[in-house]
Chains A and B, each alone.
Chain A
Amino acid sequence: MEKESRPSWEQPAQFVLACVSYAVGLGNVWRFPYLCQMHGGGGFLIPYLIMLVLEGVPLFYMELAVGQKMRLGSIGAWSAISPYLGGVGIASVVASIYLCLYYNVINAWSFWYLFHSFQEVLPWAECPLNSNHTGYLDECRKATATQYFFYRETLNITSAISDGGGVHVGQALCLLLAWMVVYLCIIRGIASTGKVVYFTATFPYLVLFVYLIRGLTLHGALNGLKYMFTPKLEQLANPTTWINAATQIFYSLGLGFGSLIAFASYNHHNNNFERQAIAVSLINSSTSIFACIVTFSIYGFKATLNYESCLERVKLLLLNTFSLAEDTINVDNITYWITELNKTHPNQFADLLPKLESCDLEAELDTAVEGTGLAFIVYTEAIKNMPLPQLWSVLYFFMLLLLGLGSMLGNVTAVTTPLRDLRFVTHYLSNETTNGLVCLFCLVLGLGFTTRSGNYWLTMFNDYGATFALLLIVLIEIISVCYIYGLEQFAKDIEDMIGHRPNWYWKIVWAIVSPLIIIMLFIFYIINYIMGGTPTYQAWDKDLGQSVTTPYPPYAQAFIILLLVSSIICIPLSALYTYCNRYTDKTDTLPK
């Protein structure tokens, strides 16, 4: 039977767009703006760009080179570098599986919100009524309508991770749909993926651009932008800023999962990946900055709205208490009036003080949020106040969906490519069947995240499933390429592929700078973990209407350790296995 030659991208552009689609994901939208805000606005760009040059682009380049040279998925590629390093590939696959399991649940949420946007009144715009219709539900009153919709209607979250709760049927359906869409996109391997990425890589930019225009024209947007871009350069002295910049670059480019190796393995041997690596990394970082601008104009709008309603309430309170005429107080002279009234009617004012809110625009802007909180709570609150909220909601969640889907394609390809490299898999199962089985496996296990406590497990996977393992994986990758495989041999391979050797800059960064940065991140992560004490999570308390920091129960802590160790342990185990195999082989050939 004829063996098929390795499939390849129809156009080099498909490869570039696949990498862009993979790298540009939800993190660009919901993590980078948060970091920017935390670490001094515009000033954060300095460590970010430095880390991009010293760490991001070189490691990206290296992974593409390995993939394109070896023309195998991560397991095969690292086994080819050194037979003892097959475990690195396996660890990558395990990390990818963990990611696949929970990442698609976030896409399921995007679907949920997207479908709920097709209503006249957005369901997160108003609180639902209580049983005798005299007011709003307690939980919703104490929290906000958007928080209530996320925690109660979308997740139906329990109050602790130990409280299992049943499966949320709506979520399960959306997860099923999400996996069906992923399957549809990868059904024939990169023949399908290559066509899909034309859309998933480009459409989000269109939406971001539309949102940029919308955001900039919103009232109060400039407040947000001013806040963001005012650099607080003293933050640069804080080592956490540099660590966070390095970490963000590292995870944002999706290094270590094996997806880049998988994508590159389908390349033509002489594809010029050097230019592509630089291009994709730059596109990824620019997208983060672009998304930051959009996010901050929307932040500014929301903060200004809250600030102005606060002022309205204070004005009304003053008017009613002191029986003043309607037009005497307005937004401009309200502070003057407060001091005046304090002087002229000190007793009455003192009685009023507990009810008087202090309205502060800076405080509103300071509420830095990241992650799902930003995407599903803060953004939705801003959207519901825009004119034509349904349209903006649909656009926004469709964009989130495409960003998430693009990253999923990379992650699933990182799992299916090494599988397809195994000869017995290719022999017995067709491409469609392998991909289908992987999707089905991830769907079934992923249903665990659609239970009522699923969000807590998801956060655990997100925080511990891949973060530590990736640092170690990439560290071993770069060290093995430079010192085990040999930098000279690597340079020769690259020359063989693209026609010229990598210049001295790349060599120095690969051999010295990047490993040092990763070791630094690694040490910092371990110190943080040890010093952090009992790991905690944010549990939603429905009586208080807010999240409460709760420590993990012991079995959950054990599970965290299992997560951290399970992918990494593959590396030494596999090396040991190969060593034993070789040892028995050697003894077999001894003359008898």
Chain B
Amino acid sequence: MFPRLHFAVCFTAVLGPTLVHTLCPEAVNSSSLIQSLFPGALLNAIMHIFSFRVSDVLVCNETQRVSFWFVVTDPENTSELISGKDVERAVRISRNRINNAFLLTDETLEFLNIPPTLAVPAESGTPPWLIVFGVVIGVVGVGIIALLISSFIQKRRKKGVTEGEEEDCEEEACDKGNGVSHPVEEGADGVNRGFVGDIPFTKL
């Protein structure tokens, strides 16, 4: 926020030459004053936007900060004013150009009662977060599938080996207890777990 330049558009519903005087009793022919305030090139740019001449713009009611009211007269008939609504619309449409003409921004150049239309941020087709999401979930998915497949392959290989081992069982260390033969199983702490399953059945 900076000290503001005010351009206040006088809303006049009633058009008439007398109104010009009531609104702007000390109205001066704008050319000298405005030209002293703003360089000619810029002024031409503004005037071009409005398609009016410098003399159609009357300046009055100056204040300490650079702020002023202005009314715009019809070029054909200088005693008629252009309605506030039309001027408002023109300002709204060409706001960007007006700002650029003064090398100011929406924050530094304010038209009272004409709120600036904010720029819409550029919207892309796919929201960018979906793209990143897609990449990450793809990588994770591939990782999971790869691990599952490798586990599956490892199990297959192991199965082949253990089937071979079970055939050897008949020759090597096998416990034949309760009529069932199974290889001696050792738990992690060296305890023979072969009988763990049988414990509930043994009654002392």
| 23 pairs, CB–CB < 8 Å, chain A vs chain B | A1-B162, A2-B183, A3-B185, A3-B187, A5-B186, A71-B189, A114-B132, A115-B129, A115-B130, A115-B132, A118-B128, A119-B129, A126-B121, A136-B118, A180-B137, A180-B141, A187-B151, A313-B1, A316-B3, A320-B3, A430-B155, A431-B151, A432-B148
Q: Which residues of A contact B140 (CB under 8 A)?
A: 177, 180-181, 184
Given the complex of chains A and B, what is the CA–CA distance between A134 and B117 in angstroms? 5
Q: Is the CB–CB distance between A121 and B64 below 8 Å? A: no
Asked if A323 is at the interface (CB within 8 A of a chain B CB), the reply is yes
Contact indicator A121/B193 (Cβ below 8 Å): no
CA distance A184 to B186 in the complex (A): 31
**When chains A and B are docked, how far (Å) is the Cα of A430 from the Cα of B147?**
13
Instruction: Give Cα A121 to B189, complex, Å.
Output: 60
Judge whether B133 is part of the interface by a CB distance below 8 angstroms: yes
Cβ-closest chain A residue relative to B194: A3
Task: Please tell me which one of the listed residues A2, A126, A135, A177 contacts residue B133 in the complex, with CB atoms under 8 A apart.
Answer: A177
Closest Cβ neighbor of A313 among chain B residues? B1
Q: A2-B183, A6-B188, A187-B147 are in contact. Are A133 and B129 (CB under 8 A)?
A: no
Residues of A within 8 A of B151 (CB): 187-188, 430-432
State in angstroms the CA–CA spacing of A589 and B187 once bound together: 30
Chain A residue nearest in CB terms to B65: A323
Cβ contacts A142-170/B at 8 Å (1 or 0 each): 00000000000000000000000000001
Do B147 and A188 touch (CB < 8 A)?
A: yes
Residue of B nearest to A187 (CB): B147
Contact B144 A184 (CB under 8 A): yes
B142 nearest CB neighbor, chain A only: A184
CB neighbours (8 Å) of A192 from chain B are 147
Contact B162 A2 (CB under 8 A): yes
Using Cβ atoms and an 8 Å threshold, which residues of chain B touch A177? Answer: 133, 136-137, 140
**CB of B115 closer than 8 Å to a CB of A:** yes
Size of the chain A interface, CB-CB below 8 angstroms: 44
- B133 nearest CB neighbor, chain A only: A115
Could you tell me the distance between the alpha carbons of A177 and B117 in the complex, rounded to whole angstroms?
39
Among residues of B, the one whose C-beta sits closest to the C-beta of A7 is B188
With A3-B185, A135-B115, A589-B203 already in contact, 18 other A-B pairs whose C-beta atoms are closer than 8 Å: A2-B165, A5-B187, A111-B136, A115-B128, A115-B129, A118-B128, A129-B118, A129-B120, A135-B118, A173-B133, A173-B137, A174-B133, A184-B147, A316-B1, A320-B3, A320-B4, A323-B65, A432-B147
Residues A112 and B118 in contact, CB atoms below 8 Å apart = no
Given the complex, which residues of A lie within 8 Å of B3, measured CB to CB? Answer: 316, 319-320, 326
- Shortest Cβ distance from residue A570 to the other chain B in the assembled complex, whole angstroms: 24
**Given the complex, which residues of B lie within 8 Å of A111, measured CB to CB?**
133, 136
Query: For the complex, what is the distance from the CA of A116 to the CA of B115, rounded to whole Å?
Result: 30
Q: Is the CB of B143 within 8 A of A184?
A: yes
Distance, CA A1 to CA B118, complexed state (A): 73
CA–CA, A188 and B149, complex, Å: 12
Enumerate A268-326 residues with CB–CB distance to B below 8 Å.
269, 312-313, 316, 319-320, 323, 326
Determine whether the beta carbon of A133 is less than 8 Å from that of B120. yes
- B64: shortest Cβ distance to chain A, in Å? 6
The answer to the question of A456 belonging to the interface, with a C-beta cut-off of 8 Å to chain B, is no
| A183 proximal to B (CB < 8 A) | yes
What residues of A have a CB within 8 angstroms of the CB of B136 in the complex? 111, 115, 177
The CA of A274 and the CA of B106, in the complex, are separated in Å by: 67
Chain A: CB-nearest residue to B144: A184
* Per-residue A-contact encoding for B24-68, CB less than 8 Å = 1, 0 else: 000000000000000000000000000000000000000011000
**CB of A556, distance to nearest CB on chain B (Å):** 32
Q: Which residues of A contact B64 (CB under 8 A)?
A: 323
Are the CB atoms of B193 and A187 closer together than 8 Å?
no
Residue of A nearest to B136 (CB): A177
Residues of A within 8 A of B115 (CB): 134-135
- Please give, as numbers and ranges, the residues of chain B lying within 8 Å of A180 by CB-CB distance: 137, 140-141, 144
Known A174-B133, A432-B151; contact A5-B188, beta-carbon cutoff 8 A: yes
Q: Which residue from B118, B143, B203 sits with its C-beta under 8 Å from A134? A: B118
> 1/0 per residue A178-208: CB within 8 Å of B?
0011011001100010000000000000000
Instruction: Tell which of B130, B143, B203 has the most Cβ of chain A within 10 Å.
Output: B143
Q: How far is the CA of A268 from the CA of B112 in the complex (A)?
A: 78
The docked-state distance in angstroms from the alpha carbon of A269 to that of B64 is 87
Q: Which parts of A104-120 form the interface with B (CB within 8 Å)?
A: 111-112, 114-116, 118-119
A5 (CB) vs chain B CBs: closest residue: B188
- Name B116's closest neighbour in chain A (CB-CB): A134
